Chains A and B, each alone.
Chain A
Amino acid sequence: MTPTAVAESPKSDNAENNLQPFFVLHKASSRKFERKSTGKTRRRIELSPSSPKISEKSEAEAAEEFDDQQYEHLRNEAFNYVWSKIESSIKDVLRNINIDVFNDIHRWVHESFAAICSCGMPDHNKVSCSYPIVTDALSKQLFTGLVFTKNMEFVDDLSTFEDLGLHLKSHGCHVANLSSLDFSTKNGIGGCLRGLLRQFLMVSLDAADISILASWYSEQRNYNSPLVVIIDDMERCCGSVLSEFILMLSEWVVKIPIILIMGVATTVDAPTSILPSNALQYLSPRKFNLGSPAERMDAVIEAVLVKQCSGFSVGHKVAIFLRNYFLKQDGTLTSFIRALKIAVVQHISMEPLSFILRGLHDEEDSQGLWSEKHALLPEMVFKQAFDLPSSRRNKLAEPNGEIWRHGLSELKRWQKLWSSVVLCLYEAGKCSKITMLDLYCESLDPKLYDSRASDHNSGLEKDFRMSSSDRCVLEQYPSLHKGGFIWQAIRKVRDLPAALLCQLLKSWEKHTEGHNEIHEKVKELQFLLKFEDGKCLKREMTDTSKRPTIRSNSNMEKDAKALNEKAAALIDDMVRNYMLPIECTPFHEIVCFRNVERLQSALIGDPRRTIQVDLLELHKFLKCCCCSKSGNIPLSSMHDTSILYMLAQEHGDLINLHDWYQSFKATMLHPSIKVKQRLKLSPSPKKRKDANESQNKSEASIQARFCRAATELQITGLLRMPSKRRPDYVQRVAFGL
Chain B
Amino acid sequence: MEVNDVDEEEFGFSRNYFLAKELGTSGEKSTRKLADIDLVDEQELRTAASNIEPKHEKEIASLMNSYRSLYSKWVFELRCGFGLLMYGFGSKKALIEDFASTALTESAVVVINGYLHSINIKQVAIALAEVLWDQLKSQRKSSLGNLPKVQQPFNSRSMDDLLAFLDGPHMGVDECYICVVIHNIDGPGLRDSDTQQYIARIAACSHIRMVASLDHVNAPLLWDKKMVHTQFKWCWYHVPTFAPYKVEGIFFPLILAHGGTTQSVKTASIVLQSLTPNAQSVFKVLAEHQLANPDEEGMAINNLYTICRERFLVSSQTTLNSHLTEFKDHELVKTRRHSDGQDCLYIPLTTEALEKLVLEISQ
Contact = CB atoms under 8 A, between A and B. Distances in A.
Interface of A: 1, 6, 9, 12-13, 17-33, 72, 75-76, 79, 83, 153-155, 158, 181, 198, 204, 324, 330, 332, 334-335, 338, 341-342, 345, 348-349, 601-605, 607-608, 610-612, 614-615, 618, 621-624, 637-641, 651-654, 656-659, 661-662, 698-701, 703-708, 710-712, 714-718, 721-722, 727-728, 730, 732-736
Nearest to A710: B255
B225 A603 contact: no
B272 interface: no
Contacts of A622: 56, 59-60, 63, 242
9 contacts: A1-B138, A30-B138, A158-B226, A341-B82, A607-B217, A652-B25, A653-B21, A704-B45, A716-B216
A75 B76 CA distance: 9
Nearest to A159: B230
Contact of B248 (A28, A638, A715, A733): A715
A21 B120 contact: yes
Given A21-B119, A715-B248, A716-B215, A658 B36 contact: yes
Contacts of A718: 217
In the complex, which of the residues B30, B36, B225 has the most CB atoms of chain A within 10 Å of its own CB atom?
A: B30
Interface string B219-252: 1100001101110011111101010110111001
Interface stretch (B47-55, B303-311, B317-325): B47-55
Contacts of A712: 244-245, 249
A342 B85 contact: no
B181 interface: yes
Contacts of B21: 652-653
B59 A624 contact: yes
Contact of A654 (B2, B24, B161, B254): B24
B108 interface: yes
Contact of B49 (A24, A28, A611, A704): A704
Given A19-B270, A661-B256, A715 B216 contact: yes
Nearest to B58: A624
B76 A349 contact: yes
Interface string B80-98: 1110010111100110011
Contacts of A736: 12-13, 15-17
A707 B236 contact: no
Contacts of A29: 105-106
B30 A658 contact: yes
Given A76-B79, A612-B217, A701-B51, A653 B101 contact: no
A75 B77 CA distance: 11
A712 B240 CA distance: 13
Contact of A618 (B29, B181, B214, B242): B242
Interface string B180-198: 0100100001000000010
B89 A615 contact: yes
B89 A342 contact: no
B33 A658 contact: yes
Interface stretch (B109-117, B288-296, B332-340): B109-117
Contact of A158 (B23, B89, B123, B230): B230
B149 interface: no
B144 interface: no
A348 B248 CA distance: 36
B80 to A, nearest CB: 5
A338 B106 CA distance: 26
B134 A653 contact: no
A111 B249 CA distance: 63
Contact of A641 (B73, B89, B97): B89
Given A335-B229, A657-B34, A699-B38, A21 B116 contact: yes
B135 interface: yes
A652 B56 contact: no
Interface string B252-275: 111111011000000000100000
Contacts of A618: 89, 240, 242
Contacts of A710: 255
Contact of A22 (B63, B119, B158, B226): B119
B24 A652 contact: yes
Given A26-B105, A607-B220, A705-B52, 18 more contacts: A20-B113, A22-B124, A25-B100, A28-B138, A155-B226, A342-B82, A603-B236, A611-B88, A640-B55, A656-B29, A699-B38, A699-B40, A700-B45, A715-B216, A716-B216, A717-B217, A728-B32, A733-B217
Interface in B189-215: 189, 197, 214-215
Contact of B218 (A1, A608, A728): A608
A641 B215 CA distance: 14
B1 interface: no
B118 interface: yes
A12 B88 contact: no
A439 to B, nearest CB: 20
B87 A605 contact: yes
Interface of B: 2, 12-13, 15-17, 19-25, 29-34, 36-40, 44-49, 51-53, 55-56, 59-60, 62-63, 72-73, 76-77, 79-82, 85, 87-90, 93-94, 97-98, 100-101, 105-113, 116, 118-120, 123-124, 127, 131, 134-135, 138-139, 142, 158, 160-161, 178, 181, 184, 189, 197, 214-220, 225-226, 228-230, 233-238, 240, 242, 244-245, 247-249, 252-257, 259-260, 270
Given A32-B106, A700-B40, A707 B49 contact: yes
Nearest to A714: B252
Contact of B110 (A6, A24, A345, A349): A24
A607 B125 CA distance: 28
Q: Is the interface of A mostly helix, strand, loop or mixed?
A: helix
B110 A708 contact: no
Given A27-B131, A28-B135, A607 B55 contact: no
A705 B55 CA distance: 11
A703 B48 contact: yes
A639 B55 contact: yes
| Closest CB pairs A-B (n = 10) | A652-B24, A652-B23, A605-B236, A736-B16, A704-B48, A614-B89, A658-B32, A717-B216, A704-B49, A622-B59
A28 B108 contact: yes
A21 B255 contact: no
Contacts of A621: 63, 240, 242
Contacts of A605: 85, 87, 214, 220, 234, 236, 238
A712 B254 CA distance: 11
A610 B239 CA distance: 10
B252 A154 contact: no
Contact of B225 (A334, A602, A704, A734): A334
Given A158-B226, A330-B225, A639 B242 contact: yes
Given A17-B111, A335-B225, A637-B55, A707 B254 contact: yes
A607 B184 CA distance: 13
B142 A33 contact: yes
Contacts of B109: 24-26
Contacts of B55: 637-640
Contact of A23 (B13, B22, B107, B110): B110
A562 B20 CA distance: 68
Contact of A24 (B59, B77, B108, B197): B108
Given A345-B82, A656-B30, A651 B23 contact: yes
Contacts of B244: 708, 712
A707 B106 contact: no
A17 B158 CA distance: 27
A703 B40 contact: yes
Nearest to A625: B59
Contacts of A335: 225, 228-229
Contacts of B252: 711, 714-715
B234 to A, nearest CB: 7
A181 to B, nearest CB: 7
Contact of B107 (A28, A658, A715): A28
Nearest to B241: A621
A204 B17 contact: no
Contacts of A342: 82, 235
